[in-house]
Amino acid sequence: MEALVIHAPGDLRIEDVPTPQMGPQQLLVRVRCGGICGSDLHYYQHGGFGTVRIQQPMILGHEVAGVIESVGGDVTGFSVGQRAAITPSRPCGLCRYCQQGLQNHCLDMQYYGSAMRMPHVQGAFRQQIVVNPAQVHLLADGVSDAEGALAEPLSVALHAVRRAGPLVGKNVLVTGSGPIGALLVIAARRAGATHITVTDVAEAPLRTALKVGADETLNVGQDAQALARYEADKGFFDVLFEASGNERALAGAFAVLRPRGVIVQVGLGGGPMNLPVNTIVAKEFDLRGAFRFHEEFATAVALLNKRLVDVKPLISATLPYRDASRAFALAADRSRAMKVVLDFD
């Protein structure tokens, strides 16, 4: 079978790799769709992000859906031909954090397509993959494989929303309108937010934010003062989801966030940020991180299956995996693409 292997920045190869061997407690899945994520792009463009660098060839990808091709003898509840979204989250289940239900902080996490550890964890941009039953979340008829592939980034958004606390009746600001920002709009609305403003420095991603239900979008690239109207009376927004990883976006929101506001930092920045900490003190902000997810994957698939969320407006294009270079170039162009999906069929 073939897989998409990153060797160095810009050096992404389609390679023959051995078909993985399935154990009696596992399933073999034929991958049909894979979404290109920002982290895949970082590996492709820069060889990594922050201190994380590719040090050995690695199969990319962690947002996939496919069809069950074979079921291990000890596995019950699944059958050949069923379609499923596959969670890339593989915590050990044994460490202290897993035992406390904090699987996203697992001490031995084997998250697909991640160079955070050595040897790197191989990813899911491949024609076949062996998975554990806990990773398999069946898709309802009518939910496409591409939508199923978006269960992973939707899970990230759901986890961030959970970190924010109750959103019923809240005014929400989302800074950064990439795929995660747009999915945060969907997830925050589902959780009861009554007003959602989205900012970005580019026009095309803001159009997607409107399509998925934002009340308002503001281009802070064209007008740096676009948020100023919300500064009155110590601020308007109850919750900020910062999805750009940009210091100016985060610090720039402080003036429009009301006292005791909650900041959920979802975007990963390129390095240290300078923040007006005195404002955090004086306005009593809660500054929280949100990293990956675990149980939210099942929620994401349930929401997709019940048609309670619509992620289709995010899907910009579906390209054959053999056109990976073109697909990655497209995914990197924010004026043309939100989420680019690879077709492995």
Footprint of Zn ion on this chain (CB under 5 A)?
91-92, 95, 98, 106
Q: What is the DSSP letter of 228?
A: G
Which residues, 6+ apart, have CB-to-CB distance to 229 below 8 Å? none
CB 197 within 8 A of CB 173: yes
Question: Which C-beta is closer to Zn ion: that of 92 or that of 226?
Answer: 92
> Would you say 110 or 316 has its CB closer to Zn ion?
110
d(CA 232, CA 292): 34
Q: How far apart are CB 99 and Zn ion at their closest, in Å?
A: 8
| Strand partners for 241 | 174, 264
CB of 43 to Zn ion, least distance (A): 24
**Least distance in angstroms from the C-beta of 136 to Zn ion:** 20
**Structure tokens belonging to residue 150:** 């978006």
Strands 237-242 and 257-265: parallel
Q: Closer CB to Zn ion, residue 98 or residue 206?
A: 98
The single-letter DSSP state of residue 150 is T
Cis omega before residue 119 (within 30°)? Answer: yes
Q: C-beta of 103: minimal distance to Zn ion in Å?
A: 7
Q: In terms of CB distance, is 133 or 165 closer to Zn ion?
A: 133
Distances 67 to 269, 276, 281 between C-alpha atoms, Å = 35, 50, 51
Q: How far is the CB of 105 from Zn ion (least distance, A)?
A: 8
Q: Considering beta carbons, is residue 106 or 139 the nearer one to Zn ion? A: 106
